[in-house]
Structure 1
Amino acid sequence: MDLSSESISPGVADTAPLTRREIADLLPEVPAWSLEEGHLCVRFACKGFNDAVTLLQEIAMFAARENHVPDIGICRGRIVEVAWYTYAIGGLSRNDFIMAARLSERLRARQGGTL
């Protein structure tokens, strides 16, 4: 099953974080993303600050609807950084990978191309 079509698990706080092996198995499913200090991360380059703010707002609304929000910010005035991590379990959950896959799919459709 494609990660982006999986449902978010609401009871993740009662689960253990993914193991290194599970993370290594899931990373190829989200090719634009990387593992940085235990967080699942990606950066999107925008044309300028206003475009970055718009993208940040779209990502924030998307994540809020799913009730699984990332760390997100703008750096260098035009780069939107997104990092998934499940603080309730102190590590990555499958939900983080599902949301990364959904966000990648959504932004590919929005941009009509690659991230």
Structure 2
Amino acid sequence: MDLSSEMISPDVANTAPLTRREIAELLPEVPDWRFEDGRLCARFACREFSEALSLLCEIAAFAARERHLPDIGVRENRYVDVAWYTYAIGGLSRNDFIMAARLSKRFRSREGGGL
């Protein structure tokens, strides 16, 4: 099953974070993302600051609807950096990979932007 079509688990607070082995097995399913400093990270390129800010707001609204929020910010005035990490468990959860897959699917083809 495609990760982007999996359901988000509503409560992961009592689960263990993914192991390095589990992370390594899931990474190929989100090729636009990298494992860095314990987080699942990607950078979206935009033409200018206003486009980056608009994208940041779209991603924030999308994540809020799913009730699974990333760390997100604008860098160098035109890049939107997104990092998934489940603070409730102190590591990555399957939800982080599901949301990364959904973001890639939704925003990868965005004109002017990319991962």
Fold in common (TM above 0.5): yes
Aligned-residue offset at 1:73: 0.1
Structure 2 CA distance for aligned equivalents of residues 113 and 63 of structure 1: 18
The answer to whether the Cα contact below 8 Å between 2:72 and 2:82 also exists between their aligned partners in 1 is yes
SS of structure 1 residue aligned to 2:108: helix
Q: Normalized against structure 2, the TM-score is what?
A: 0.95
- How many residues align? The count is 115
**Take 2:24 and 2:111, find their aligned partners in 1: how far apart are those partners?**
28
- 1:17 has 2:17 as partner: yes
Percent identity (aligned): 73
Structure 1 pair 78–113 and aligned structure 2 pair: CA distance change class (3 A): closer
Unaligned runs of 5+ in 1: none
Q: CA separation in 1, counterparts of 2:71 and 2:112?
A: 25
Verify the 8 A CA contact 2:17 2:93 in the aligned structure 1.
Answer: yes
Bigger helix share: 1
How far did 1:108 drift?
A: 2.4
Q: CA RMSD in A?
A: 1.5
Structure 2 CA distance, aligned partners of 1:27 and 1:80? 20
| In 1, Cα distance between equivalents of 2:9 and 2:40 | 18
Task: Name 2:76's counterpart in structure 1.
Answer: 76
CA deviation map 1:7-62 (0-9, x unaligned): 00011111000001100000000001001100000001110000000000000000
What 5-or-longer segments of structure 2 have no aligned partner?
none
